[in-house]
Structure 1
Amino acid sequence: MRAMLDALPCGVVALDAAGAVLDANARALAMLEMALPPGVDFAVALAEHFGFDDVPLPRDLEAGREVRAGEATLWLQAGAPLPGAGAVIAVTDVTPFARSLDERATSLRFLLHDLRSPLNSISALTQLDASDPEAFERCGGMQRITQLARYVLSLGEQFIFSSVTEHLQARDFRRFDLRATLRQMISQLEVTAVYCGVALHLWLPDNAPVWVNGMRNFVARAIQNVIDNAVRASPRGEAVTVSLRHDGGFVEVLVDDHAGGLPGLPEDERLTDFEKFGKKSATGFGLGLKLAVQIVAVHGGTLYAELNGRGGTLFVLRLPCLNPAAAPSLSTSLVDADRALRANRAV
């Protein structure tokens, strides 16, 4: 039996029908950090060594039980019996999984803490609306509730994205048509644009697919965050223009607004670090840009912003393209055409 147990890839303790130890391999003894002489009651020895308040019952071990041995987290579970044994206990080191769960639980606690304040504010505003509509309007009214709701949504999106990217592999990427995705997204954002009194223009010169490799939903969300921010920041009566262009092996989504320009963005410079905007806790504006930067980076691209010379900002989301030569007509965007037209008029 000892030779059989030692040949197994995990820690194993063999018990007789009464639950007494028949034998244990070296891996099990090393992981449990305890002696298990033949004949000792395994459940009792386990309870004494790890300080359990109760002695594990057979059904506990059949369902599995977690124990901490020093810095390690072990999982004990009764499996199918070996020949000549009453039960076999598999001992597995699950420390990496336990740490991941602990980190996730900690992240959830932080998320819940961050969500509590805006959710409480939304609740208070709704109650104020019912009891004192004038005070409700003085506190920002529905616009304030919308801002808080967007902030809550941004926090949730950030958590989901961080959770997914921890285990993201290249095999999880799929080819999708960025052009079709962009058209679908614009139709969904038109309601927001109408509500804000901002014209939303999409310029696509033809129907040629623009293939990108990645996670479509995440890429769409990154672009949507940038467009949504541009629309909401623009004064009523202005326009936001969205277009595509190719640049070598990349495709660029351009979002051009007239919202006054990002604060602190110098002339003739590109902004690639949006970290400081992530500290704007009231609107979700910074979190949306920060999330967009992270999503684009995971896909091998970049996001930058520059002043467009017309009282606004040009955001450029740059992604690797699978068919850069397939659509040469996209090399010029509406933004570039507008710049060229203005230059010719000036001459």
Structure 2
Amino acid sequence: MSDRMSDDEARRMRGVMSGLPCGVVALDGAGAVVCANARALEMLKMELPLGIDFTDALSERFAMAELPRPRDLQAGRELRVDEETTLWLQAGPAAAGAGDTVIAVTDVTPFARSLDERAMSLRFLLHDLRSPLNSISALTQLDASDPEAFERCGGMQQITQLAHYVLSLGEQFIFTSVAEHLQARDFKRFDLRATLRQIISQLEVTAVYCGVALHLWLPDNSPVWVSGMRNFVARAVQNVIDNAVRASPRGVAVTVSLRHAGRFAEVLVNDSAGGLPGLLEGERFTDFEKLGKKSATGFGLGLKLAVQIVGMHGGELYAERNDQGGTLFVLRLPCLNAVGSTPQPASLVDADRALRASRPD
């Protein structure tokens, strides 16, 4: 290729480059500007006269300590134009008659902002994790040196609560990170009934440790189809059940059941834990945000996450006082095979009979 293109070639290149949606700068073999379209000049917020050395121009405009030669841009490089704008420069071979190298200039401000926000969230998460993790470390050291003092400070129960809080913080971060990028195609059909069985089996060890009986009552064997992120929904339900189990005194039961309610499927969690703080007789409680602020160990944080997950799936979570001196939690989710409201057994004995009657001989 000749060192200098003809006027016709230059006009043809400018015509092609002016129609491109991204910024483009064409360079010759020495790194001098052959052509730059208006989009590139607009994003870079600078002039690029023909023949000027591209590296020198960038260095002067953006006060770069390291001079990015065209070959160094083959892997791409981030360029902060100002506090609001971030560009991505990447070099590639030019087409015939378009110089030796083409620099693509792309506005990646939304992606850079998202990364900055994610980094900030991670810093906040690490800050929030530091206190409970330090407390766990201190308690384990105290157990080794002074067991009596360890028990006075709450012992294993305190460590368990702190560990549960740490896990809740991690879950909240993961949910927030993933939820930002969810698309309709990410929602899949799954059987809520089968999911409940799996959750109960996973929580049996926790229930035994807490001295609480955990019952699951399913009136029939029919699948209950819902659409969504199965792992997220399972985590929401698990958080509600886990919260009920841990809040209940030893020797009582937590009962989980499933029912249809019009267009919705409802998971009901009944406990005998003395009632949710702030829950009044005859009202529905939905402000779980307040519960997460009541103690340093994050009481209610799991419920707050459950509210967010259920809401993302077009449902709701609320709580009511029940007849056992505890709380009834109801998770409502849109149901794909919704039916009319199904009468529910009046007692656990009736529920057991209904379950047995539904089984084939």
Same fold (TM over 0.5): yes
2:221 alignment partner in structure 1: 207
* Runs of 4 or more consecutive aligned structure 1 residues displaced over 2 Å after TM superposition: 57-60, 280-285, 336-341
Contact 2:293 2:299 in 1 (8 A): no
Contact 2:93-2:100 within 8 A present in 1 as well: no
Following TM superposition, by how much is the alpha carbon of 1:340 offset from its aligned partner in structure 2, in angstroms?
Answer: 9.8
What CA distance in whole angstroms lies between the structure 1 residues aligned with 2:239 and 2:178? 18
* Cα deviation, residue 166, structure 1: 0.7
Which of 80, 83, 90 is the equivalent residue of 2:104? 90
Instruction: Measure the CA separation in 2 of the matches of 1:338 and 1:269.
Output: 24
Cα deviation per residue 1:83-117 (whole Å; 9 max; x = unaligned)?
A: 23110000000111111111111111111110110
Secondary structure, aligned partner of 1:240: strand
SS at match of 1:224: helix
Between 135-144 and 12-21, report the one with greater CA deviation: 135-144
Contact 1:150/1:284, CA 8 A, preserved across alignment: no
Aligned partners of 1:338, 1:56: CA distance in 2, in Å?
73
Out of 79, 82, 90, which is 1:77 matched to? 90
Identity of aligned residues (%): 78
Q: Contact between 2:25 and 2:40, CA under 8 Å: does it hold in 1?
A: yes
Alpha-carbon distance in structure 1 between the residues aligned to 2:349 and 2:43: 68
Q: Confirm or deny that 1:218 pairs with 2:232.
A: yes
Structure 2: distance between partners of 1:278 and 1:333:
32
Partner SS, residue 46 of structure 2: coil
User: 1: CA distance between counterparts of 2:19 and 2:190?
Assistant: 48
Note if contact 1:147-1:282 (Cα within 8 Å) is conserved in structure 2.
no
Residue matched to 2:51: 39
Q: Residue 304 of structure 1 aligns with which residue?
A: 318
Q: Give distance in 1, aligned partners of 2:189 and 2:198.
A: 17
Amino acid aligned to 1:124: A
Structure 1 residues without counterparts, runs of 5 or longer: 342-347
The CA distance in 1 between the partners of 2:332 and 2:120, in whole Å, is 34
Q: Secondary structure at the match of 1:67?
A: strand
Aligned equivalent of 1:332, options 321, 328, 343? 343
What one-letter code is carried by the residue in structure 2 that aligns with 1:275? Answer: E
Q: Tell me, yes or no, if the aligned pair for 1:304 and 1:317 is still in contact at 8 Å.
A: yes
Matches within 5 A, 1:1-347: 1-70=13-82, 71-84=84-97, 85-325=99-339, 331-334=342-345, 336-337=346-347
In the aligned structure 2, how far is the partner of 1:147 from the partner of 1:280? Answer: 14
The answer for unaligned runs of 5 or more in structure 2 is: 1-12, 352-361
- Mapped to 2, the partners of 1:338 and 1:266 lie a distance apart of 25
Retained in 2: the 8 A contact 1:244–1:333? no
Which region of structure 1 is more displaced relative to structure 2, 19-28 or 130-139?
A: 130-139
Letter paired with 2:193: R
* Structure 1 residues 77 and 36, CA gap change in structure 2 (3 angstroms): same
RMSD: 1.6
User: Matches of 2:103 and 2:178 in 1, distance apart?
Assistant: 34
Counterpart-to-counterpart distance in 1, 2:314 and 2:57: 54
Q: Are the equivalent residues in 2 in contact too, given 1:203–1:333 (CA < 8 A)?
A: no
**C-alpha separation in 1, matches of 2:56 and 2:173:** 43
Q: 2-side partners of 1:118 and 1:75: how far apart? A: 40
* Deviating more after overlay: 90-99 vs 68-77: 68-77
Query: What is the one-letter code of the residue matched to 2:40?
Result: A
Cα displacement (A) at 1:339: 12
